[in-house]
Structure 1
């Protein structure tokens, strides 16, 4: 019934347009609702640029604003579907060609063409002019990477992320106005996946070039998504309006306001009081209380993201892998799932997901909960109870503080002395003014291959190695080999060995549990949650009773 009504509305709108009615008359009849969504954070970097804001919270926001050539089906199982490209084909092991949709409009009214796609992946936007593509290195080092073409300064995180996402992209060519060809320097079976993940979103060349500074651009980006930025106040709010020229149909909402409400209790109280229509990141133990009120419901599920504890092996005590191994064996992960998540998530098979398909390593498990083994490892390593600090934020992740308290107690039971250091932001998490040791993190799979997770985050270009926490020579060689290997059996064997290195022999991290995300909303709103941090508010996923 809802879909039939939407089609009728769309047909009526087309008829009105064909009759030449003034646009203002149509605008005055706009009865679409506006909604407010309370979130714990909008962006960690005070920007809305995916090449800077590679985060869980950013993924949620960007589903409103941006689109890549290939999208994920947010109402399905995140399978690949056409985005702003209507089709694509493999030309060889190094080359993929895309046919663009005609008539796709940017938020500024310009039509998207191959020129915009080429610019999106250009050296000027992703790396800066001082980046040498052949050597995969930045030749000029400073606080900001120069962009002499536009007189803009790229934050150093932008080329770092770009290098991680596209370590061997050779060229992007416009074959004609609606055809673009991507060529890699090396064979890459994951090129389509890379071009569909966050950070590959297509942007307007004209809008980027007209922005006075990179920061101006990043706070009011112009892309092709169903909503566009009206106003962004970092750490406070984001106001978005419907992009009525959206190629996928007129958006169902007139506007969307996101507000930052860090405290869970305040988000819940605001929902119940009618201040918010949706609230994100609801802890499982709060779900029954919300649903006691017949006007509200909570939707959600596990997502392709795992919560991790990450190690800095430069710490004097963590240099010995046996102590890191002891950390991993001291954790009763199932107890965390049952006590803090009410059984609504699970302990996964290490840093992998079943949607990897043929690359999923069967019979792999996280390190066993074994207190005796943990104690023996500490004894063999000569650990004498020296403090090993644990850095975390206050509930950036759902149940973060509660999980940390449980972990510290589990580690204490085997003899580990782990004091909590609560930090205010990610910059403080990574700062080196005092010894780093253990920290909280998570890892998402941007597409259905280990390249998107274990290599992207823990490989030689991954953030853990970029910030100097951990490195392993064999892991780095395997990462480079996995990126160019095309034989799937060989690739799977490489990935299996990576899991052994990173989770058992020389732990870079340990997986705690699969993440899950829960969103509470008014019950009179018909809306479906995605198995992702992203939120879907296109034409077919919003209605009111």
Structure 2
């Protein structure tokens, strides 16, 4: 997470409304998964939410994103903001990417296949070329992954590539790579789709002045903190984009993005708030696109320290929460209720568990059993993410009705995520889209580096290893369901909702995919968008 200041936009009359201060941080996404032995790439599934029609070629689309100031880069391995990720997606490709259910879909990889023990994977590349005409080869893939894994760097995808033994992995042909893994990994396609795991040419060394990728658009110009212009790449393996050009314009303030959209200065505005969406939805001036299930909203309980080291207290808190009230108040209704599990609607989600409802009488009973009738706890929150302070206030009032006193403590936006990882006992928490497998491996194993609930159980770790060693998809799904049932009964995440991600577009824009949580393949994907 970041909170950097940025410089003002240039004096360009086209963007007179785009003035901003500060910048809005991005939520991350990590690796993604499914055991898919073969597949074909291609455009996103699902219908156009705005009526479709025959795609038309031509024109420049201007897209407004919050940015990161003069320090912005087009190096795809350094992408950290949503603006970085959107620009990287336009210029570069990954071997795989996330589908709407967070299962891996082939991109530069034409197919993949494991050995019997799931610790070696053969990946075959499709015929694709970089913008300079050079073919994408196995050596480019290995170079890219070894660059990401460089111990001197802090690239976002480094942790996701950890299962690969890159020294032992090798090219077995121009378009074939054998990845040797450190352990059986049934969800290895998650690694290929990891956030930031883009393939760059082996000879690439200047990403900000002349970046060369294999993505649907090629570089024209870049002014960090201001704008970037890319032009259609006619030789893209998935077909040339409909647009002639895409221009990414930086506008930090949500109001600036909305005003620019209303004023015709941009055609696409990223990350609008629910109040804005309600004010303009169905009014005919602009279109609102809601990306469902884009961000988990939760309270995080430390399971290894009082009072939450007692499972009865955790269960009581599950029953204190009125999830609909939290969604309505903290998210202004722009989302849906959670059920104390991550990944609603994603592959492997345990959707057969009963929806948990508020039950204050049972909550008080459990607290009495635990000797915690007059419980007082501190809830850490911050303005670091939308809805956090509102959710804390609502939950404080809900807890009071169960006889629990919740003291809300405001934290710094700059240090909140590091502060709550090991500090405190109860905090507000959010996560962007990632596969359920990645959520488990990064946050719920004994040695997970971002284990905010301090959930550490060796038998649970063993179940994860069992899932990763299980080749059959149905059998593996059964193991994941068993793990989720345990988390539902005694875990430390009180997942109360899943927030929509909200996009605004001009009425002339077509092809924006609604069935695409933020950070998935079809989010901010402009090669399939056109202007009517």
Q: For this structure pair, what is the TM-score category when the shorter chain's length is used for normalisation?
A: 0.7 to 0.9
In 2, the alpha carbon distance for the partners of 1:458 and 1:53 equals 25
Checking the alignment, whether the CA contact within 8 Å between 2:80 and 2:156 is kept in structure 1 is no
**Which of these residues, 135, 145, 157, is aligned with residue 121 of structure 1?**
145
Aligned to 1:306: 296
Preserved contact between residue 299 and residue 494 of structure 2 (Cα < 8 Å):
yes
User: Which one of the candidate residues 402, 410, 429 is aligned to 2:390?
Assistant: 402
State how far apart, in whole Å, the 1-side matches of 2:55 and 2:276 are: 36
Alpha-carbon deviation of 1:326? 3.0
What is the aligned partner in structure 1 of residue 477 from structure 2? 492
1:256 shift after superposition = 2.0
Once the two structures are TM-superposed, the CA of residue 81 in structure 1 deviates from its matched residue by 4.5
Matching residue of 1:393: 383
Alignment of 1:125-524 (within 5 A): 125-128=147-150, 145=151, 153-155=152-154, 159-163=158-162, 166=163, 171-207=168-204, 210=205, 223-227=213-217, 230-231=221-222, 233=224, 236-237=225-226, 239-242=228-231, 244=233, 246-251=236-241, 252-262=243-253, 264-291=254-281, 293-303=283-293, 305-313=295-303, 316-339=306-329, 345-349=335-339, 350-356=341-347, 359-365=348-354, 367-379=356-368, 380-382=370-372, 384-394=374-384, 396-397=385-386, 399-414=387-402, 415-425=404-414, 427-431=415-419, 435-444=423-432, 446-447=434-435, 450-460=436-446, 462-465=448-451, 469-488=454-473, 490-505=475-490, 507-524=491-508
User: Please, which runs of 5 or more residues in structure 2 have no aligned partner?
Assistant: 1-51
| More displaced 10-residue stretch of structure 1: 431-440 or 472-481 | 431-440
Q: Does the aligned pair in 2 maintain the 1:348–1:365 contact within 8 Å?
A: no
Do the aligned partners of 2:232 and 2:244 also contact (CA within 8 Å) in 1? no
Report the CA distance shift for 1:423/1:159 in structure 2 as closer, same or farther (over 3 A).
Answer: same
Q: Name the SS for the 1:182 alignment partner.
A: strand
Residue 90 of structure 2: aligned partner: 64
CA contact (8 A) 1:312 1:318 kept: yes
- Does the 8 Å CA contact 1:227/1:240 hold for their aligned counterparts? no
Report deviation, 1:35.
0.4
Deviation at 1:315?
A: 5.2
Q: CA deviation at 1:333?
A: 0.7
C-alpha separation in 1, matches of 2:301 and 2:81: 19
CA RMSD of aligned residues (A): 3.8
Are 2:95 and 1:105 aligned?
A: no
Give yes or no for contact 2:329–2:391 (8 Å, CA) kept in 1: no
TM-aligned CA deviation for residue 204 of structure 1? 2.6
Which residue of structure 2 lines up, in the alignment, with residue 139 of structure 1? Answer: none
Listed one character per residue, the Cα deviations across residues 302-348 of structure 1 (whole Å, up to 9, x for unaligned) are 13542222233455444444333333221111223345556553224
Structure 1 distance, partners of 2:350, 2:198, is 30
Contact 2:331 2:499 in 1 (8 A): no
Residue by residue over 1:205-226, the C-alpha shift from the partner in whole angstroms, topping out at 9 and shown as x without a partner, is 322xx36xxxxx6999754323
Q: Deviations over 1:446-499 (max 9, x none)?
A: 45xx3133334323454432x784433332222222222234455334323322
Structure 1: gaps spanning 5 or more residues: 7-30, 129-144, 146-152, 212-216
Is 2:240–2:527's contact at 8 Å kept on the other side of the alignment? yes
SS at match of 1:373: helix
Q: Deviations over 1:181-238 (max 9, x none)?
A: 223344433223432342433223322xx36xxxxx69997543234674464xx455
| Higher RCO, Cα 8 Å, sep 6+ | 2
Partners of 2:81 and 2:494 in 1: CA distance: 19
Q: 1:509 to 1:57 in 2, by over 3 A?
A: farther
Give the match for residue 513 of structure 2. Answer: 529
Q: 1:227 to 1:4 in 2, by over 3 A?
A: closer
Count of paired positions: 469
Cα distance in structure 2, aligned partners of 1:66 and 1:268: 28
1:385 CA displacement: 4.5
Please give the TM-score of this superposition, normalised by the length of structure 2: 0.74
Which has the larger helix fraction?
1
Instruction: Tell me the distance in 2 between the aligned counterparts of 1:178 and 1:301.
Output: 35
Q: CA offsets per residue over residues 375-425 of structure 1, 9 Å max, x none?
A: 33334243644441313334x34x444333322322333313231314223
Aligned-pair CA distance for 1:523: 0.8
TM-score normalized by the length of structure 1: 0.73
